[in-house]
Amino acid sequence: MESFFTFLEKRVDDCSSLLCIGLDPYVNDLSEPTAASARDFCLNLVKQTSRYAAAFKPNTAFFEVFGADGWTALKDVIDAIQEESNRMGSMIPVILDAKRGDIASTAEAYAKSAFETLGAHCITLSPYLGKDSIEPFIQKSEKGVFLLCKTSNPGSGDLQDVMVTMDNSPLTMEDNSSSIVHGPSSVPLYEHVAKLAQTWNTKNNIGLVVGATHIDATKRVRLAAPDLWFLAPGVGAQGGELESALKAGLRKDGKGMLLPVSRSIARAEKPGIAAAELRDQILAIRSSMIGHR
């Protein structure tokens, strides 16, 4: 069955890339503080970097700040990515970085806005309202979500590192023998989220946001969710180290990890060249890892 992640894996193979280009039109980077300038800024990035992009990730906040005109600009950018996909004959997924989280009819409205009105293929979500809050987004296997798991910001540990106690269904000792008895165990909340996501992923359209700035946590999440794709922000401006992140997060098949990069590419003199160089750097590290397995 076709799903969001089968589409993504096809694109990864088509462009030999794990690079996700972040479309974050910071006002200070624009020629003028308008929605039109934000649109043109992103269209230029799309044109220059699409050959090397496994996906594009527009952040809704940088468009919402311009009001209704910003939403129109965001739609224009997503449409332009679709046109570029058609031109190349390879679908480039659009991951809407919106971090939504709500329930019932509100979640349904958010899903319709992202997938039908804007035409995105995937969206970032907060999982902390429970599975019913993400259900409207995962009804169709070809539409995907990345759930916030261990985010890249320094304050992520305030909540995500809190230890939660899990019931491991203790075994009963028999015949007074020294059988192993499993009692409740504690894991970080982010690890519990990862395990839940692994079980919820029945349509191959759920992934996790796992910051490249937290290497030990990335290793733990990979163990908890061996099959899932990670969206791993933090390389570049946030200080994440590329090789360490890849070694911690890639699956055994050398896939399963998207690295979103925005500022270091957008602010480069030639964004296309910057994207190509980073793509090649990722490939070299990935190839060396696979060669040693």
Which residues belong to the active site?
99
Q: How far is CA 110 from CA 85, 99, 114, 166, in A?
A: 25, 11, 6, 32
Calpha distance 26→38 (Å, rounded): 8
Closest by CA to 49, choosing from 29, 22, 73, 25, is: 22
3-state secondary structure of 121: coil
d(CA 64, CA 59): 9
Cα(first)–Cα(last) distance of the chain, in Å? 30
**Chain centroid offset of residue 229 CA:** 8
Residue 164 backbone phi and psi in degrees, to 5: -120, 145
Percent of residues in the chain assigned helix, strand, coil, to nearest 5: 50, 15, 35
Match 């939660």 to its residue by tokens. Answer: 164
Task: With beta carbons less than 8 A apart as the criterion, state whether 209 and 151 touch.
Answer: yes
Strands (E), the chain: 19-23, 55-58, 95-100, 122-125, 144-150, 163-166, 185-188, 206-210, 230-231, 257-261
How far apart CA 53 and CA 61 sit, in angstroms, is 21
Q: What length does the chain have?
A: 293
If you search the block for the tokens 């690295």, which residue do you land on?
259
Provide the β-strand partners of residue 166: 185
